[in-house]
Amino acid sequence: MKILEVFGEPISNGGQEAFVINVINTIDMSELQIDCLTPYYCENDFYKSVVESRGGQVFAFNLPFTPGKSRKNIYKVLLEFLKKNSYDAIHIHSGSISVLKYASQAAKKAKIEKILVHSHCAADKKTLKYRIVKALSFSAISKCPTHYCACSQVAGFWKFPKKIASKKLIEIRNGVDIEKFRYNRRKDADIRKKYGIPENAFVVGHVGRFSYQKNHEFLIKIFSALKNRIEKSYLLLLGSGELLEDVVKQTKELCLDDRVIFVGNVNNAEDYYQAMNVFVLPSRFEGLPIVGVEAQASGLPVITSKNVSDELNIGKNVVFLDLSEDVEPWVDEICHFIDTPRLDNTQRLIDKGYSIADTAEMIRKIYLGTY
């Protein structure tokens, strides 16, 4: 059975890509061949190598990526590709309702038997533009897909018509390789040594794209206030993105550049969680962030915004706070965990379905029609 995983964005280091690659790396490939496609570009050679090592190919059309603008141009190129290449199922992943619409229309026109649309996020406000796009997509989203998937209830209801989300939504957990994220003292020491972080320093961590969604500006403000309370504190930031330069500038203006470490994109994020003491995620909007699951798999306290689905409350020590001008409540909660030992959330994660093995098996059954 041939499967095509379609990304509505470039293949980079985002949570959506990490989810798909984790599944491909884990799923039982007997009876399956899985290829990946982005209408844009692939800038993650490691992910490409994983797909190829599992017998698949990665296709990129190299269209210009213009977030916030029409994605209609993907329809024609995807339809042409699907007419030339035979697939039994297509699994469409995107944060854009328009991408889910146009990609599922192309798949239906190409007579693909199984068409899965997968919502990985929600947003903070139901803007006029959002309402218009969702209304214009209603017919196609209602008629073209055969399966409606989401990482959380919130993400599902955000992307899909209410009647469909109420009756047909398949919630697929953002599973992770729990054992890979288990705390490792040696890796903790190695990362601290690499970046000059003292062994007894308090490290706040964050993993995510430097974008409006992730709200790094607020995170830097939190850390600036925290440093006034905990002198020997550091902020470890993984990721890249369009707002990276703005955040670097902000840290310099606040004289924090000797304590804020910009790691960039890495393919071994699990090692960096080991050097953190608390994970802070002040996102403006999310579905169910895979980094929040990974942090809990590493035994870290997680402090996140109330704009994140409460389904992220998997293990212990997960706190949800309001986003406001006042950072002090965030600093208070961070300080609350100064002397908190790491937890072993393994059984809680397994019990709630966040093992990548369970996630991969569920998806396999959907593909094969045995779910």
Going from the C-alpha of 201 to that of each of 25, 186, 190, 235, 276, the distances in angstroms are 35, 16, 14, 10, 10
- Are the C-beta atoms of residues 209 and 15 closer than 8 Å to each other? no
Confidence label for 123 from pLDDT (cuts 50, 70 and 90): confident
Residue 92 has pLDDT above 90, yes or no: yes
Vertex 100 angle, CA 97 and 101, to 5°: 85
DSSP state of 310: G
With H, G, I as helix, E, B as strand and everything else as coil, classify residue 2: strand
* C-alpha to C-alpha distance for 242 and 31, rounded to whole angstroms: 40
> Which class in CATH covers the domain with range 2-175+355-368?
alpha beta
CATH architecture of 178-351: 3-Layer(aba) Sandwich (3.40)
- For the chain, give every domain's residue range: 2-175+355-368, 178-351
pLDDT digits (tens, 9 = 90+) for 328-350: 999 999 999 998 899 999 999 99
pLDDT at 121: 80
The answer to whether the CB of 96 falls within 8 A of the CB of 72 is no
Distance between CA atoms of 152 and 288, rounded to whole angstroms? 6
DSSP 310-336: GGG--SS-EEEE---S--HHHHHHHHH
- Output the average pLDDT for the chain: 94
Residue 362: pLDDT band (50, 70, 90) is very high
User: Is it the case that residue 68 has pLDDT exceeding 80?
Assistant: no
Q: How confident is the model at residue 317 (pLDDT cuts 50, 70, 90)?
A: very high
Spatial separation of the C-alpha atoms in residues 53 and 31, rounded to whole Å: 16
* The residue type at 15: G
Nearest CA to 341 among 116, 183, 134? 183
Instruction: Answer yes or no: is pLDDT of 132 > 90.
Output: no
**Quick one: pLDDT at residue 46?**
92
Structural tokens at position 44: 């993650």
Residue 287 — very low, low, confident or very high, per pLDDT cuts 50/70/90? Answer: confident
